[in-house]
Structure 1
Amino acid sequence: MLLALLILAPLLSTSYEVKTPPLDTPWTYTAGTDPWPEYPRPQQVRDRWQSLNGIWSWRNGAADELNGPVPTGNLGTDVLVPSCLESGLSGVMANNTGNGTILHSWYQTTFNVTEDWQGENILINFGAVDYQATVFVNGQQVVQHTGGYLRFWADITSAVKVGQSNELVVFVFDPTDSEPYVVPIGKQTLNPSHIFYTPCTGIWQQVFIEPVPADHIEWIDLDGDMNGQVNITVHSANNSSSSVTVKVWADDGQVAATGTGSSDSPIVFEVANPKLWSPESPTLYNITVTLGNDTVATYTGFRTVGKGMVNGMMRPLLNGEFLFTFGPLDQGFWPDGIYTPPNYEAMVFDLKTLKSLGMNMIRKHIKVEMDLFYHACDTMGFWVIQDQPALNIQNGAEPNSTQQDVFNSQLFELVEKHRSFPSICTWVIYNEGWGQVGAPELYLAPMVRSLDPTRLIDATTGWNWHGAGDYVDNHHYSEPQCGTPFYSIASSPYDPNYIGFQGEFGGIGNNVSIDHLWNVQQAINGINQTYELDATVEIWNYRAHLILDELRQQTEMFACSGAVWTQTTDVEGEVNGFLTYDRRILRPNITQWQSDIYALYQAAADRGGRIIISTCL
Structure 2
Amino acid sequence: MTTPRTARRAVTAAAVTLLAIGTAGAAGAGPAGAAEPQWHKGIPPIATPWTAQVGPQNALPEYPRPQLVRSKWQNLNGVWQFGKAAAGQAPPVGQDLAERVLVPYPIESALSGIQRHEDRMFYRRTFTVPAGWQVGQGQRLVLHFGAVDYDAKVWVNGTEVATHRGGYDKFDVDVTAALKGTGPQELIVWAEDLTDATGQPIGKQRRVSDRGIFYQGSSGIWRTVWMEPVADSSVSGLIMTPDLAASALKLTAETVRGEGLTVQAVAKAGGKVVGKVTGAAGTQLSLPVPRAKLWSPDNPYLYDLEVTLLNGRRTVDSVKSYFGMRAIGTKKGADGKLRIALNGKILFNMATLDQGFWPDGLNTAPTDAGLKFDLQQHKEMGFNAVRKHIKVEPDRWFYWADKLGLLVWQDMPSANTGPIPPEWREQFEAELHEMIREHRSWTSVIAWVPFNEGWGEWDREATGRIAEDVKKQDPSRLVNAHSGVNCCNSKGDSGKGDVIDFHQYLGPASPAPDENRVSIDGEHGGYGLKTSNHMWFGDGQAYEMTPDSATLTRKYVENQRAVLTSARSCGISAAIYTQITDVEGELNGFWTYDRQVAKMDFRQVRAINREIIAKADGTPGDTPQPGPGTPGLTGVAFYPLDGNTEDAAGDHDATLVGDPGYVDAKKGQGVDLNGSSQFIDTGAPVLNTASDYTASAWVKLDKADGVFQTIVSQDGASVSDFFLQYSGADQRFAMSFAGVRALGPAKPEVGRWYHLTGVRDTVRGELRLYVDGELAGRTGACLPQAAPTGNTVIGRGKYGGNPVDYLDGTVDQVHLYDRALSAAEIKDLYASGN
Per-residue deviation at 1:232?
1.0
Q: Kindly provide the amino acid, as one letter, of the partner of residue 582 in structure 2.
A: D
On the 8 A contact 1:82/1:205 being kept in 2, the answer is yes
Normalization by structure 1: what TM-score?
0.90
CA contact (8 A) 1:57 1:107 kept: yes
Distance in 1 of aligned mates of 2:184 and 2:374: 39
Match of 1:612 in 2: none
What does residue 152 of structure 2 align with? Answer: 133
* 2:262 and 2:309 in contact (8 A); partners too: yes
Q: Give the counterpart letter for 2:324 in structure 1.
A: G
Task: For residue 222 of structure 1, report the CA deviation from its aligned partner.
Answer: 1.1
Structure 1 Cα separation of the partners of residues 229 and 102 of structure 2: 25
Report the CA distance between 1:13 and its aligned residue.
Answer: 5.1
SS in 2 for 1:282: coil
Shift of 1:240: 1.6
Identity of aligned residues (%): 37
- For the 8 Å contact 1:117–1:162, the answer to whether it is kept is no
Q: Which has the higher helix share?
A: 1
Alignment pair present for 1:36 and 2:81: no
Candidates 263, 267, 276, aligned match of 2:285 = 267
SS at match of 1:277: coil
For residues 161 and 232 of structure 1, the distance between their equivalents in structure 2, rounded to whole angstroms, comes to 38
Mapped contact 1:51–1:209 kept (Cα < 8 A): yes
Contact 2:383/2:610 (CA < 8 Å) preserved in 1? Answer: no
2:565 paired with 1:553: yes
Q: Which SS does the other structure have where 1:479 is aligned?
A: coil
Q: Is structure 2 residue 298 aligned with structure 1 residue 280?
A: yes
TM-score, L = length of structure 2:
0.67
Residue 122 (str. 1) matches residue 134 (str. 2): no
- Matching residue of 2:203: 186
Q: How does 1:396-407 map to 2 (within 5 A)?
A: 396=418, 398-407=419-428
- Among 200, 213, 236, the alignment partner of 1:195 is 213
Question: CA shift at 1:392, angstroms?
Answer: 1.7
Contact 2:569/2:620 (<8 A) preserved: no
2:107 to 55, 61, 85: 85
Give the Å deviation of 1:242. 1.7
2:467 aligned with 1:451: no
What is the Cα deviation at residue 606 of structure 1?
5.9
Give the match for residue 479 of structure 1.
Answer: 507
1:387-440 Cα deviation digits (max 9, x unpaired): 0000123xx4x3233311000000000000110000000000000000001122
Q: Shift of residue 29 of structure 1?
A: 1.4
2:577 to 565, 568, 584: 565
Asked if 1:383 is matched to 2:400, the reply is: no
Match of 1:296, SS state, is: strand
CA distance in structure 2 between the partners assigned to 1:161 and 1:209 by the alignment? 16
Q: 3-state DSSP class of the match of 2:616?
A: helix
Equivalent pair of 1:288/1:295 in contact (CA under 8 Å): yes
Alignment of 1:419-434 (within 5 A): 419-434=440-455
Matched with 1:209 is 227
What is the alpha-carbon distance in structure 2 between the residues aligned to residue 415 and residue 87 of structure 1? Answer: 28
Q: Is the aligned partner of 1:233 residue 2:255?
A: no
- Work out the CA distance in 1 between the residues paired with 2:510 and 2:401: 25
Q: Is the 8 A contact 2:327 2:344 kept in 1?
A: yes
Report whether the alignment pairs 1:305 with 2:322: no
Secondary structure (helix, strand or coil) at the match of 2:536 reads coil
How far the C-alpha of 1:145 sits from its partner, in A, is 1.1
Q: What secondary structure does 1:549 align onto?
A: helix
Report the equivalent of 2:597.
Answer: 585
Pair 1:441-2:463 in alignment: yes
Contact 1:483 1:561 in 2 (8 A): no
Structure 1 consecutive aligned stretches of length 4 or more whose deviation exceeds 6 Å: none
Find the structure with the greater CA-based Rg.
2
Alignment check: 8 A CA contact 2:150 2:165 kept: yes
The answer as to whether partners of 1:510 and 1:536 remain within 8 angstroms in 2 is yes
Taking the TM superposition and a 5 Å limit, the aligned residue runs for 1:459-608 are 459-463=481-485, 464-484=492-512, 495-513=514-532, 515-519=533-537, 524=539, 527-528=540-541, 530-605=542-617, 607=619
Take 1:582 and 1:289, find their aligned partners in 2: how far apart are those partners?
A: 41
Q: Tell me, in whole angstroms, the C-alpha distance in 1 between the residues paired with 2:359 and 2:515.
A: 42
CA contact (8 A) 1:430 1:459 kept: yes
Q: How far apart in 2 are the matches of 1:305 and 1:72?
A: 53
User: Aligned pair 1:249/2:252, yes or no?
Assistant: no
Which stretch of the first structure deviates more once superposed, 497-506 or 157-166? 157-166
Q: 137, 145, 151: which one pairs with 2:164?
A: 145
Instruction: Quote the offset at 1:555 in angstroms.
Output: 1.6
| Mapped partners of 1:138, 1:608: distance in 2 | 68
In 2, are the aligned partners of 1:123 and 1:157 still within 8 Å (CA)?
Answer: yes
- Aligned match for 2:119, one of 93, 103, 125: 103
Is the Cα–Cα contact under 8 Å of residues 330 and 364 in structure 1 kept in the other structure? yes
SS at match of 2:111: coil
**Where does the alignment leave 5 or more consecutive residues of structure 1 unmatched?**
1-6, 95-100, 485-493, 610-617
Structure 1 Cα separation of the partners of residues 420 and 232 of structure 2: 41
Judge conservation of contact 1:327–1:565 (CA < 8 Å) in 2: yes
- Deviation, structure 1 residue 483: 3.1
Cα distance in structure 2, aligned partners of 1:69 and 1:51: 23
Q: Is the 8 A contact 1:13 1:78 kept in 2?
A: no
Letter of the 1:571 partner, please give it.
Answer: V
- TM superposition shift of 1:162: 5.2
User: By how many angstroms is 1:163 displaced?
Assistant: 3.1
CA distance in 1, matches of 2:46, 2:450: 32
Offset at residue 31 of structure 1 (A):
1.3
Q: Deviations over 1:207-236 (max 9, x none)?
A: 111001111111111122334311111111
- Distance, in Å, in 1 between the alignment partners of 2:348 and 2:77 is 40
Which whole-Å CA distance do the structure 1 matches of 2:327 and 2:471 have between them?
15
Amino acid at match of 1:148: G
CA contact (8 A) 1:13 1:76 kept: no
2:45 to 14, 22, 27: 22
- Superposed displacement of residue 106, structure 1: 0.1
Which secondary structure does the structure 1 equivalent of 2:472 belong to? helix
| In 2, Cα distance between equivalents of 1:70 and 1:220 | 37
Q: Which moved more, 1:377-386 or 1:225-234?
A: 225-234
2: CA distance, partners of 1:130 / 1:241: 38
Corresponding residue for residue 411 of structure 1? 432
Pair 1:76 & 2:98 matched: yes
1:98 matched residue in structure 2: none
